[in-house]
Amino acid sequence: MEISNYTTEDFVLDPSFRKWVMQPNAVSNLFWEDLLAKNPSKYKAAKEARRIILKLNAKNQPKLSDAEISGLWKDIDTRMSEEPQEGLTSRVEKVIPLHSLSTLERAVPNTPPRSSFFADFRLRVACILAIAVGLGYLLGWLVSVPVNPELHSPVPEYVQHKTIPGVKSHLTLADGSLVILNSGSELRYLKNFEKGRREVFLKGEAFFSVAKDSLRPFRVTSRETTTTALGTSFNIKAYEGETLDVSLLTGMVAIKRDGEAEEVRLVPGEALKIDTEKEQLEKVRFDQDQVIGWTKKRIIFQETPLMEAIRVLENWYGVEIQLIRQPEEQVLLSGKFQDETLKNVLEGLKFSARFDFTIDKENVKIIF
């Protein structure tokens, strides 16, 4: 019998298969077991056909007579004592299945439940191939996507120096430039600078002695103003609420305000005063001792407005000064002091400005 092309319906319609299902015996069991072993792909269809046949005949299934049962056991004893016949499968054992379900169940003893995701070998192979293809597409996409340098570039590391009132700081930058940072000031820059330029950001006041490097200009940015130099020494005073002063001692600098097309160039001995509120620029000559005297522990007031002088004294000595009965007219202070105490400085100023003062640790009062 050829069952290689059988479907479930073919098994149901086959008389010998129906008889084996409904009235099994040792001979039919061995016959169908051998036939299905030669066609393992038909176990599933045969098992489903058995289920249908039993369901259709559940109410009318005939019962075996006592004689048939006795004959069946006799036949089983006879078959168990015989050697396997030639032409039948060589794996016939002493235990002979008594019904069709035993044959169908024994045929696939190691088959896991159908609900298992990897029950079918072909399904496992398909999953492995699908995963491999998916990984291949993913790898190809990753290789084809252009790398954004900004996403992989290291996070910039900034260096910050900040001086508290009463303290000045001497700094040597990575390029060899020297900086003196005045009290109450702050300097920030990218560590080791960038490849093509040197740029620092200033709040307050600082004196710069810039190391020469023709390939990398040195820029100081402060209050929307950029000062560019090569090998130069200059002073920048950029405190909030006051004019921004750039004073050149040696070399040459170019100064440019944000939003302005033109830049202003200075030669040694020139200073640029910028009124940031009125957006006015004035180029003037300056007294070197007055401008950088602070780097040599000198306080020099030359018709200095009262509020600017108070800011200088607060930063220099680390105190807080309170004005009592501030005069309506503008007060200008003048005087030169070399490494003096706050008390001596105030004593030197009070006669010309006509005020009194009290000092209580960090709290100072100037009384008009």
pLDDT-derived band at 68 (thresholds 50, 70, 90) equals: low
Q: What per-residue confidence (pLDDT) applies to 271?
A: 97
List the chain domain ranges. Answer: 8-106, 121-150, 155-293, 297-368
- Judged by average pLDDT, the poorest of 95-99, 259-263, 292-296 is 95-99
- Judged by average pLDDT, the poorest of 82-86, 119-123, 322-326, 341-345 is 82-86
Q: Which of 239, 214, 241, 207 is nearest to 229 (CA)?
A: 214
Token reading at 346: 């105030």
Helix (H, G, I), strand (E, B) or coil at 231: coil
Residue 294 is classified by DSSP as: G
Give the tens place of pLDDT for each residue, 94-139.
444 555 666 666 555 444 444 444 445 566 656 666 676 666 666 6
Q: What per-residue confidence (pLDDT) applies to 123?
A: 63
Mean of pLDDT values over 20-41 = 83
C-alpha span between 103 and 40 (Å, rounded): 12
Q: Structure pTM?
A: 0.58
Give the tens place of pLDDT for each residue, 205-236.
999 999 999 889 999 999 999 999 978 999 99
Query: What count of other Cβ atoms lies within 10 Å of the Cβ of residue 270?
Result: 17
Q: What per-residue confidence (pLDDT) applies to 94?
A: 43
**Which residues share a beta bridge with 237?**
205, 245
C-alpha span between 292 and 234 (Å, rounded): 9
Q: What share of the chain is helix, strand, coil (3-state, %, to 5)?
A: 35, 30, 35
CATH code given to domain 297-368:
3.55.50.30
92 contacts: CB under 8 Å, gap ≥ 6: 30, 84
CA distances in angstroms from 9 to 12, 16, 46, 55, 194, listed in the order given: 5, 14, 9, 14, 82
Mean of pLDDT values over 36-51 = 86
Phi and psi at residue 159, to the nearest 5°: -105, 135
Architecture field, domain 155-293? Sandwich (2.60)
Same fold across 155-293 and 297-368: no
Contact between 284 and 257 under an 8 Å Cβ cutoff? The reply is no
Q: What per-residue confidence (pLDDT) applies to 231?
A: 80
C-alpha span between 245 and 284 (Å, rounded): 10
